[in-house]
Amino acid sequence: MRYRLRHTTSYTYSWAVDISYHLLHLALPELPRQRVHACSVTTNPNSGRLSAQIDHFGNRVAYLTIDAPHKRFDVELRAEVEVDPFAGVDPEATPPWESLRDMLDGNGFPAPVLESEFVHASPFAQADAEAVAYALQSFTPSRPVLAAAKELTERIFRDFRYDPAATEVFTPVSEVMKQRAGVCQDFAHLQISMLRGLGLAARYVSGYIRTLKEGETTGLRGADASHAWLSVWCGPELGWVDLDPTNNMICSDQHVTAALGRDYGDISPVRGVVLGGGPHRIGVAVELLPLG
């Protein structure tokens, strides 16, 4: 599926900001199932100093400093991107989850070195005993990893209420467990924490989900802003498989990936520090429209 993507973020400050520093995780990466045909990030004011880098996770990062007073900051991502469907995998035919757990432990020296990074708890996805107990109901002995993970995704979708008022960015996993409510970030962090608690590798994915087409009445959740889901490692052959607990699905060609990390903290799309400015308002708009 080929898409046209537009993602705008605007910050409106109460009074002038003297200087602002931004860290942008916006530019789309090339991935096995994702090809980027065009991608541009523009800002207003555009007078700043911009430098681009690849980060530890392989994401494309941009640093922007605006050293002139401004009351508003807009950043826009426009891209054309193509995503292949995820198909031909039978979750019941994936390796038993314990074999992956043991492989990732490797008695201190796991063969999948880079994947083993995502076994460890991280600031936004802390270990939680209750969450692990919840996950174990799906991860019965010798169960194929993707079958169990898919069922876990489904249970989170069923048992947890989608409620933007229930949480903030800093709401810890333990709190989400108690409230049984949250938004896409919370569900992603929750399932990541559960999988890692079992000794599996799970990473956080930020990106976009297909916007409602004309004539459709029920769309996908998370389409009006940047979306988040997770990836679970299913062994050397299959690699990473993306799961979206907010929409109860294995991600296929309706999701476009923007960045990968341990959790939200590693890949927040627009991070910044401003001097001055006072209280500010944020406006976000996302459009991911299929082409043709």
Could you give phi then psi for residue 145, rounded to 5 degrees?
Answer: -60, -45
Q: Which is nearer to another protein, 18 or 76 (CB)?
A: 18
Work out whether 56 is an interface residue with another protein (CB under 8 A).
yes
Q: Which of residues 31-50 bind another protein (CB under 8 A)?
A: 49
Among 28, 66, 81, 119, the residue binding another protein under the rule CB under 8 A is: 119
Q: Which is nearer to another protein, 51 or 217 (CB)?
A: 51
Tell me how far, at minimum, the Cβ of 264 lies from another protein, in Å: 8
- In the beta sheet, which residues pair with residue 41? 77
- Contact call for residue 165 and another protein (CB under 8 A): no
Stretch that binds another protein, among 28-36, 104-112, 234-242, 251-259 (CB under 8 A): 104-112
Helices (H), the chain: 97-105, 129-136, 145-159, 173-179, 184-197, 264-267
For the CB of residue 119, give the shortest distance to another protein in the complex, in Å: 8
Three-class DSSP labels, 80-95: EEEECCCCCCCHHHCC
- The yes or no reply on residue 23 touching another protein (CB under 8 A) is yes
Dist. CA 266–CA 56, nearest whole Å? 10
DSSP character for 117?
A: G
HSE value, Cβ hemisphere, 13 Å, CA-based, for 258: 31
Q: Which residues contribute to the site for another protein (CB under 8 A)?
A: 11, 18-19, 21-23, 49, 51, 53-57, 63, 65, 67, 107-110, 113, 116-117, 119-120, 168-170, 265-266, 268-277, 280, 282
